[in-house]
């Protein structure tokens, strides 16, 4: 009888190694070695030639000795790691894209690379609507005044001048209509918002929602929310020119990727009042540097530290989707979400 496949479950403090182990052992007879990486208690960043990874090449190489499968979210699968682990044949990344994997090197080393699409779509969509409501109705600012300072001054948000906007009948523009954007659209329609969509990869109407050009959508929207992937084409998609197209007093929501928005241009628009509020979960630089202008705009900006996908269900889904790929590989079946 052949020995069980050796698998490394390189989890972290969100997708726990134990979650990966439980999911993988349900799919395959295997010997699992667990490794806990530091994220999110330690920030991710570039490691060698890969992006958004934990700085743990040495720890990963040690754990992968003799292993054929790696399941991870933040493990840095670099050329150095791949070269040091000749037994490795499958890497499954518990996230929507394997940005922590050198795909070219994986091909050279005959390593298959899979990922877990859709794991956080529902969580991110819900978080987007929550941030949008918080920005529109000034909820964090009022909370800070009352709970943080014991002040009833938040009652000024009941004056006509300072009161917020409600979603019913509000023109809301979605930039991107993928797994997250489509869920946000359904939620906003339930609120009675007038939902518009810009997505260059979609045509015609989607469930009755008319597609617009970006400029047309910006001119008509009181709120815009971003749901595009970050690519060379979408970096800086919303800059000074685009923000100027928005009606005065509009709101910008970004729970996608920080560099989609020119942060300096957004700060300019907030300071001038042309954009009345912003709700941000992602930033041009993460963690946000201490000198960021955004910190001086707390009365107009709702900020969270990239929490859109932070739900227990996301961690459990990611482990399960990854484990299912390991099971297919072990049974010799076609892989569902494979890039190499």
**Catalytic: 183?**
no
**Catalytic: 293?**
no
Active-site position among 34, 286, 293, 316: 286
Distance CA 237, CA 241 (A): 10
Distance CA 270, CA 331 (A): 55
Distance CA 172, CA 194 (A): 6
Residue of 283, 281, 288 whose CA lies nearest to 307: 281
Q: Residue 24 burial by CB count (10 A; 0-12/13-18/19+): exposed, middle or buried?
A: buried
Cis peptide before 61 (omega within 30 of 0): no
Active-site position among 68, 227, 257, 320: 257
Distance between start and end Cα atoms, the chain: 30
Q: What is the token pair recorded at 256?
A: 């996608």
Maximum Cα–Cα distance across the chain: 77
Distance CA 52, CA 206 (A): 33
- Is 318:95 a contact under the CB 8 Å cutoff? yes
Cis peptide before 40 (omega within 30 of 0): yes
Strand segments, DSSP code E, in 140-271 are 171-175, 194-198, 205-206, 209-210, 223-226, 250-254
172: left (phi over 0), alpha (psi -120 to 50) or beta: beta
Active-site position among 112, 138, 227, 306: 306
**Catalytic: 257?**
yes
Distance CA 271, CA 246 (A): 15
Query: What positions carry a catalytic annotation?
Result: 257, 286, 306
């Amino acid at each position: 009888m052949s020995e069980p496949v050796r698998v490394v479950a390189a989890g972290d403090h969100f997708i726990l190694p134990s979650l990966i182990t439980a999911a993988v052992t349900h799919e395959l007879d295997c010997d699992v070695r667990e490794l806990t990486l530091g994220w999110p208690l330690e920030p991710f960043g570039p490691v060698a030639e890969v992006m958004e990874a934990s700085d743990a090449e040495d720890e990963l190489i040690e754990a992968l000795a003799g292993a054929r499968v790696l399941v991870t979210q933040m493990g840095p699968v670099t050329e150095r790691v791949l070269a040091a682990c000749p037994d490795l044949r499958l890497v499954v990344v518990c996230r929507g894209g394997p940005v922590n994997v050198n795909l070219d090197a994986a091909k050279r080393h005959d390593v298959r690379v899979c990922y877990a699409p859709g794991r956080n779509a529902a969580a991110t969509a819900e978080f987007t609507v929550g941030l949008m409501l918080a920005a529109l109705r000034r909820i964090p600012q009022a909370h800070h005044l009352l709970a943080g300072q014991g002040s009833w001054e938040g009652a000024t948000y009941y004056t006509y001048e300072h009161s917020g906007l409600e979603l019913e009948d509000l023109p809301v523009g979605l930039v991107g209509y993928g797994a997250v954007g489509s869920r946000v659209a359904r939620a906003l329609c339930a609120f009675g918002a007038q939902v518009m969509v810009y997505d260059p990869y979609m045509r015609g109407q989607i469930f009755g929602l008319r597609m617009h050009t970006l400029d047309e959508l910006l001119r008509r929207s009181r709120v815009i929310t971003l749901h595009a992937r970050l690519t060379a084409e979408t970096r800086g998609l919303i800059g000074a020119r685009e923000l100027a197209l928005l009606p005065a007093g509009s709101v910008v929501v970004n729970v996608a990727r920080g560099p989609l928005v020119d942060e300096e241009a957004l700060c300019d628009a907030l300071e001038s009042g042309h954009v009345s509020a912003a709700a941000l979960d992602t930033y041009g630089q993460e963690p946000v540097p201490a000198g960021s202008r955004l910190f001086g705009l707390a009365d107009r900006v709702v900020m969270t530290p990239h929490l859109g996908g932070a739900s227990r269900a996301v961690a459990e889904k990611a482990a399960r989707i990854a484990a299912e790929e390991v099971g297919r590989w072990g049974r010799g079946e076609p892989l569902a979400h494979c890039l190499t």
